[in-house]
Structure 1
Amino acid sequence: MDFSKKRLSVSEAKEIDMVHFLAGLGFEPAKIRNNDYWYHSPLRDEKTPSFKVNRRLNCWYDHGLGKGGNLVDFAILFHGCTVAELLQNLNGNFSLHKPVSQQTFPKQEQEKQIKILGDFVLSSNVLLRYLQQRRIPIDIADRYCREVRYELNGKVYYGIGFKNDLGGFEIRNPYFKASSSPKGITTIDNSAGEVIVFEGFTDFLSFKATHQQDPEDRFDFVVLNSVSFFETARPFLEKHNTIRLYLDRDATGQNCSRYALSLSSNYKDESSLYQNHKDFNDWIVNFGKPQRKHQKQKLK
């Protein structure tokens, strides 16, 4: 593909090899263990390497920051730029597999931390309307979510908060997607023989909404809250006889599913259920609607 004539898409940028990308920025791994490449964090100063890239998944996680994700997530943090600026600067400068040379980006600003001020019963009309737009029943959301008030850059905001096992929140509202530290997976342990895995909590809530007749203890659940936490989740997942994956249909989610299937026959990829959609929730939201919308999205 000639990238000098066509700007990279977000999905193409996510496919770029993280190890090669970091090498192009001048960062080499301090140690390598199987698929895990450990670095001194490019995002902060540290003496002990705690920035991990899983090359099989092509995802990263910075244990000091409690953040992780795909290459695009890393690059906009490292360079302090928008996604559009990143794609523009990457245009024509490397292929999907070769190292990238250092680009000139705006100086990175120090990342502001989200401070949780409190969590309450969901009551905001804006948030309740947002849940309705995502076709998530309020009573389902009430069981697993809280209305979170948080401070960012000196201003107070609110959103739908989904708590992880470490006490941090994944936060969503119609205009913002974020998370508070510490970041981690969310497990729901019903002592079941099967476990169902989702990438984000809206997919989990959508599944619960469409399976309200199921006994409460039929399945265990894991919400990764980021594909980069897949390895963290494995000890819990692999206690089960069957592990059903409902991950996103993008490159990162599908790479993770393929990796999981290579580990054990206990893993089952269920994402073909919503193969023409981004994820489980997108399928639910658009269920029964004409497919023209998705065809147009593919042409963009």
Structure 2
Amino acid sequence: MQSNKLTFKKAKQIPIIDYLAGLGIAPAKVHGHDTWYFSPFRSERTPSFKVNTKLNLWYDHGTGEGGSILDLGAKLHKCTLTGFLHRLSANNIPDFSFHCPVKPEAHMINRLEVLSAADISNSDLVAYLQKRGIEPGTGRKYCREVDFRIGERSYKALGFQNRSGGYELRNAWFKGSSSPKDISFLTSGHAKIAVVEGFMDFLSLLQVDSNQVKALRSDSDFLVLNSLALIDRALPLLTGRDEVNLFLDNDAAAANAKLVLKDAGVQAYDRSGLYRQHKDLNEYLVKSAEQASMVSHPITRSRGPKR
């Protein structure tokens, strides 16, 4: 019996537009080799998600992300690249019409381009840090003020660098990343390591005022996945550790990531119970600060005039 298991190389030959059609996602317009869709990741009035059928690559103008069908599937299904490959292999793959491998596009239209990175000074970015419960000093220590461009327009965002030189970018209205996409590893040579999904969670972990959390982050290295789809890249950094503490989100995607680690033989402690009533560490930090403020500044009701 012939194996139906796909290789990464063969999977990348599956036409992305055929895959999207199989999910019931129809194009909004077609212009030459570019097929445009309303983004499957958010609500929008103008289609900003493009598939180049000649190159068989997708690009999301709203976030600056893009790549092959594997990157798309991992993002859609909130799983790893390997997990999505297994999902594809389990489907009726022979029905897809394969074509020759394509070369990546040299210059993608309106791609995200980093122009410069400097110390954080922009008042809007400082205000955004404070809104997320992060002290400006903490933000300045680990992040940069990044000027980037999408098409002809330039913007500013907080930038958190990954180990390959790319940036995770955030401001009050934008969430995206520059190429290359990768994990971030902050090490001081400790045998203990803390794992978080995004850099806001990392900054939050440094600031949570809890004796238990303080003990867990003390004398620890830190691994920021920047996307659960990159968890496979984290495995070599987690094996053989004396202690692996997971501070992932409280959702199904994180639960799946924990299973991936378990299947890979990584012995880890799930610390999400410390903030089980919240979506993630940052929400826990913000809500905790709000509650502390209410306790220290209680609202007094006016009794009104005596009759």
Match in the other structure for 1:152: 150
Q: Could you report, residue by residue, the CA deviation over 1:49-83 in whole angstroms, capped at 9, with x for unpaired residues?
A: 999xxxxxxxxx94799878421689xxxxxxxxx
Residue in 2 that maps onto 1:206: 204
Q: Partners in 2 of 1:65 and 1:155 — Cα distance? A: 29
CA drift at 1:179: 0.2
**Partners of 1:207 and 1:217 in 2: how far apart?**
11
Give the equivalent residue in structure 2 for 1:39. 12
In structure 2, the partner of 1:231 is 232
Structure 2 residue matching 1:286: 3-state secondary structure: helix
Look up the SS of the partner of 1:162 in the other structure: strand
Whether the 8 Å contact between 2:246 and 2:272 is mirrored in structure 1 is yes
| CA distance in 2: counterparts of 1:278 and 1:50, whole angstroms | 32
Give the TM-score normalised by the residue count of structure 1.
0.63
Letter in 1 for 2:75: N
Residue of structure 2 in register with 1:142 after alignment: 140
- Structure 2 unaligned spans of 5+: 17-50, 59-65, 80-89, 93-107, 292-307
What count of residue pairs does the alignment treat as equivalent?
220
For 1:120-135, what aligned pairs fall within 5 Å after superposition? 120-135=118-133
Larger radius of gyration: 2
Q: Is the 8 A contact 2:185 2:224 kept in 1?
A: yes
Q: Quick one: structure 1 residues 129 and 264, their matched pair in 2 at CA, closer, same or farther if it must change by over 3 Å? A: same
Q: SS in structure 2 opposite 1:70?
A: helix
Number of the residue aligned with 2:39: none
Corresponding position of 1:170: 168
Which protein, 1 or 2, shows the higher relative CO under an 8 Å CA cutoff with sep ≥ 6? Answer: 1
Look up the SS of the partner of 2:169 in the other structure.
strand
Superposed CA offset, 1:178-197 (max 9, x none): 10000100001111111110
Asked whether the equivalents of residues 78 and 228 of structure 2 are also in contact (C-alpha less than 8 Å), the reply is no
1:182 maps to which of 180, 183, 201: 180
Deviation at 1:281, TM superposition (A): 0.5
- Structure 2 CA distance for aligned equivalents of residues 124 and 166 of structure 1: 26
CA distance 1:289–1:262, change in 2 (3 Å)? farther
Check 1:208–1:153 CA distance in 2 against 1; reply closer, same or farther (3 A cut).
Answer: same
The aligned counterpart of 1:197 is 195
Q: Partners of 2:260 and 2:203 in 1: how far apart?
A: 25
The two structures have a TM-score, normalised by structure 2, of 0.61
- Using the TM superposition, name which of 261-270 and 143-152 deviates more: 261-270
Give the drift of 1:159.
Answer: 0.4
Distance 2:179 2:186 in 1: 20
Residue 38 and residue 217 in structure 1: after superposition, are their counterparts in 2 closer, same or farther (change >3 A)? farther
Separation in 2 of the partners of 1:237 and 1:268?
12
Question: Relative to 1, partners in 2 of residues 1:289 and 1:141: Cα closer, same or farther, differing over 3 Å?
Answer: closer
1:259, CA displacement in angstroms? 2.6
Match of 1:78 in 2: none
Letter in 1 for 2:154: V
1:96-128 alpha-carbon deviations (Å, 9 max, x no partner):
x999xxxxxxxxxx7631111100111111110
**Equivalent in the alignment of 2:241:** 240
What is the distance in 2 between the residues matched to 1:271 and 1:111? 40
Give me the whole-angstrom Cα distance separating, in 2, the residues matched to 1:215 and 1:246. 10
SS in 1 for 2:288: coil
Q: Percent identity?
A: 30
SS of 1:143 mapped into structure 2: helix
After superposition, what is the alpha-carbon deviation per residue over 1:187-215, rounded to whole angstroms, capped at 9, x for unaligned?
A: 01111111110100000001112379779
Q: 1:73 to 1:213 in 2, by over 3 A?
A: closer
Q: 1:40 deviation in Å?
A: 2.5
- One-letter amino acid of the structure 2 residue matched with residue 157 of structure 1: Y
Judged with a 3 Å threshold, the aligned counterparts in structure 2 of structure 1 residues 186 and 114 are, in CA distance, closer, same or farther, namely same
Question: CA–CA distance in 2 between the matches of 1:283 and 1:213?
Answer: 15
Q: Is the 8 A contact 2:11 2:69 kept in 1?
A: no
Which residue in the other structure is 2:287 paired with? 286
Query: What letter matches 1:40 in structure 2?
Result: Q
Q: In 1, distance between residues paired with 2:273 and 2:221?
A: 21
Counterparts of 2:218 and 2:78, CA distance in 1: 36
Unaligned runs of 5+ in 1: 1-27, 52-60, 75-96, 100-109, 291-300
Residues 112 and 67 of structure 1, relative CA distance in 2, 3 Å threshold: farther
Alpha carbons 2:167, 2:178 under 8 Å: kept: yes
